[in-house]
Amino acid sequence: MRKRLSNRRFAALLVFLAALIAPAPLWAAEGDTSVAPLLLMLVAMLVAAKLFGEAAERLRQPAVLGELLAGVVLGASVLGVIPHEGPNAAIIAALAELGVILLLFEIGLETDLKEMFRVGPASAAVALVGVVLPLGFGFLYWRFLPHSGVHAPDQDVTTAAIFIGATLTATSVGITARVLSDLRQLGTREAKIIIGAAVFDDVLGLVLLTIVSGIAAGATVSAVGITKIFAIAMGFLIGAVVIGNYVVPRLFDVIDRLRVRHVLVVFAVAFALGLAAAAQLAGSALIIGAFAAGLILSETNQFDVIEERVKPVAAIFTPIFFVAIGSQVNLRLLSPQNPEASTILIIAVVLTLLAIIGKVLAGWAAPWTNFRRLVVGVGMVPRGEVGLIFADIGRRTGLLTEQAFSAVILMVMATTFIAPIGLKLLLGRHHTGEHPIADDEPPPPPPPDAVP
């Protein structure tokens, strides 16, 4: 039996490792092209992710919340360990993408495809309402209500309002999926609806991203072009699963007879990466391909072995994704020395409220299905990396001023941090089995205190 580390010893370990990480900005001297600074950044990210995750769990919060906070501490506005530009920043971003791909691949492995199809209409309804409501709320606020001091002199307010609404529509399936996994709730109907809705949401997000990018570039966006994007994204997901379920089980039966070590996990990860790349090349999203790969391999005879061996690989790269997301928080925006801090904060608070309300209401979008609606609504709240992508496009195209961009970033991060806490409060008291608990079902007995 593994002994649990006492709080005092854990605090001492935290202080010791913090002392090692604190001078991290000195590691990467200007002009240093060696690989050592990058390796030390990764050391800091992985160690901090696990220590902050441990601290979060000791406070009875999901570990992902600690990993996000680790990113804030290591980000440019505090310790400056994780750069926002330069070659190392690009490498960290690529590793973060790999982390979210492996996370969605793992989620796909744990998803029951038949149950996924059963909740498909509910997921689609939740996704559609979860896009339409935030889009409308954001547009109306930016177009008709006061938010002075954040417009460029020659900016088209209507176009900017469309873009602000679009930034509120995104959902980060990675954040919610990790929280549900930490709470051992992936087998529930709510989890399947959330993950399915997030996949639909990504498809709708691709359509919206094309529309707003076209508007920003001054191009004409046609209904035919929008329909084509939607058809490609959905067609890829459905086609990959249907064809893959026919071909891949036979292929992996052959691979399983190879004698080289760890052949199954290597081919499984390669399959996930290949399908993720194919999804992006087809005009869809990386994570849709990774999720589809998991769904396909969950139907193979080697599923149990693949799932067991993929988890350690994902455990290395997935924390990099969450730490990288947290590092985008710029605490200097709220500094008292910043004269625009109050304006930015007010706008960020309003956008955050609109973002939360729009997604929570989406939980009531499928009245024909029985599930815990507030859980689904809260699960759709985090914007995460998808919201950051939208915001960055708005900044680079000039649709968002620096102040508006800052407010959107704060909204993205606020929703990303709020969702894990909300899900923990809603799900922490429920049984962690494979079926949802009815509202009138008595709570199960508490688990034993012993930690295996």
pTM: 0.69
Whose structure tokens read 């996990």? 265
Residue 23 has pLDDT above 80, yes or no: no
Q: pLDDT-based confidence at 443, cuts 50/70/90?
A: very low
Better-predicted residue by pLDDT, 8 or 264:
264
- Mean pLDDT (whole number) for 426-440: 49
pLDDT in tens, 310-344: 888 888 888 898 888 778 777 777 777 777 778 88
The mean predicted confidence, pLDDT, of the chain is 77
From 68-82, 111-125, 244-258, 391-405, the region with the lowest mean pLDDT: 391-405
Percent with pLDDT over 90 in the chain: 6
The three-point CA angle 181-183-189 to 5° equals 70
**Residue 26 buriedness (CB in 10 A; 0-12 / 13-18 / 19+):** exposed
Q: How far apart are CA 378 and CA 373, in angstroms?
A: 9
Token pair listed for 438: 């009815």
Q: pLDDT-based confidence at 357, cuts 50/70/90?
A: very high
Comparing C-alpha atoms, which of 332, 324, 348, 445 is closest to residue 400?
Answer: 348
Number of CB atoms found within 10 A of residue 261's CB: 7
Percent with pLDDT over 70 in the chain: 73
Q: pLDDT-based confidence at 67, cuts 50/70/90?
A: confident
Residues 6+ apart with CB under 8 A from 5: 13
Q: How far apart are CA 228 and CA 235, in angstroms?
A: 10
Q: With contact defined as beta carbons under 8 Å apart, do 128 and 358 qualify?
A: no
Q: Which helix (H) or strand (E) is 109 found in, with range?
A: helix 87-109
Q: Which domains does the chain have, with CATH numbers?
A: 95-427 (1.20.1530.20)
Q: What is the pLDDT of residue 396?
A: 65
- Mean pLDDT (whole number) for 391-405: 72
Number of CB atoms found within 10 A of residue 121's CB: 13
Number of CB atoms found within 10 A of residue 37's CB: 18
Question: Which DSSP string do the residues of 274-322 spell out, in sequence order?
Answer: HHHHHHHHTTS-HHHHHHHHHHHHTTSTTHHHHHHHHHHHHHHHHHHHH
Residue at 153: amino acid letter: P
Question: Which DSSP string do the residues of 387-419 spell out, in sequence order?
Answer: HHHHHHHHHHHTSS-HHHHHHHHHHHHHHHHHH
Q: With contact defined as beta carbons under 8 Å apart, do 332 and 116 qualify?
A: no
Pick the most confident of 35-44, 176-185, 221-230: 35-44
Helix ranges (H only) for 110-222 are 113-118, 120-144, 157-167, 173-182, 189-216
